[in-house]
Structure 1
Amino acid sequence: MDTVTEIVTPILEAENFELVEVEFTKEGQSWFLRVFIDKDGGIDLEDCAFVSERLSDALDAMDPDPIPQAYFLEISSPGAERPLKKEADYEKAIGAYVYVSFYQAVDGEKYYQGFLQSFNEEQLVLKVRIKTREKELTLDRKNIAHARLAVQF
């Protein structure tokens, strides 16, 4: 999806929007190209429609077509459970409640939820509640399969 990223980035930058994620996935018989965008104050329906129109036109103008099969284009906000992908995402999430899943279990657990305390290139520190105790866990970033903001109940 590097081609889509290269095409959509200047469209977004011109509007001070941020590219959060691009995914191309098959659901049932249909393919979906999903582009998640954000900006300060949040994304609204008009923002999504604007980016959809501009990106669709840009993709249609390309020869050869970078995505030859039929697909549905969806532009949306990442929502309350925004993924943490880039260093800037982690930086903004310091102190926030996050969900982190692992490739290999950590202390017998496949995921943890807690407050992001700090991070660097190799590790992140998460404050979690285990039963009635709070504990700080230092997690190896190479073992993190998925990280995102989480809604705390």
Structure 2
Amino acid sequence: MSVQELLDKTLPGLGYELVDYELAPNGNMRIFIDKEGGVSIDDCVNVSNHLTRLFLAEEVNYNRLEVSSPGLDRPLKKEADFERFVGQLVKVKVRLPIDGQKKFLGKIIAFENQKLTLSFDQKEVIIEFSNIDKARLEPEF
């Protein structure tokens, strides 16, 4: 079973969502988790302890494990992320330009039928989910 499959199978049972994970060339593994209401240090410790035992049993090879929250500028990767954060300010980078533009900063108006509607500079743009290269929440203070 791949690391992705292990995390997708394990984290929801613990009450967490897998936001992202990365395995660096030096063997360090970073796992970003979230849950309604946010993630505390205790949440990170509990998940880290659980995954350490799981990875040992499943013979997952890594040097160091880090578990953390995704932060205020959380990446949006799945369709459900865009649906969850309707009304929030986001930065979006697209693969193919839309009207000559590849980077957008605006509020999510809607996400339906694999299309993101974004409001920016008193305009709206519709972005196909398949054209989104990167997207992150933009913290508002």
Instruction: Give the aligned partner of residue 84 of structure 1.
Output: 76
What is the CA-CA distance between 1:9 and the residue it aligns to? 4.1
C-alpha distance in structure 2 between counterparts of 1:10 and 1:143, whole Å: 28
Aligned with 1:56: secondary structure? Answer: helix
Q: Is the 8 A contact 1:7 1:55 kept in 2?
A: no
Instruction: Give the aligned partner of residue 96 of structure 1.
Output: 88
What is the CA-CA distance between 1:149 and the residue it aligns to? 1.1
Instruction: Specify which of 44, 55, 61 is matched with residue 59 of structure 1.
Output: 55
Q: Is the 8 A contact 2:17 2:34 kept in 1?
A: yes
Instruction: Give the aligned partner of residue 3 of structure 1.
Output: 2
What is the CA-CA distance between 1:125 and the residue it aligns to? 0.9
Could you tell me the TM-score, scaled by structure 1's length?
0.80
Q: 1:152 to 1:23 in 2, by over 3 A?
A: same
Q: Is the 8 A contact 2:82 2:116 kept in 1?
A: no
Instruction: Give the aligned partner of residue 133 of structure 2.
Output: 145
Task: Give the letter aligned to residue 135 of structure 2.
Answer: A
Bigger Cα Rg? 1
Query: How many residues are matched?
Result: 141
C-alpha distance in structure 1 between counterparts of 2:60 and 2:113, whole Å: 33
What's the C-alpha RMSD, in Å, of the aligned pairs?
Answer: 2.0
Task: Give the letter aligned to residue 21 of structure 2.
Answer: V
What is the CA-CA distance between 1:11 and the residue it aligns to? 4.0
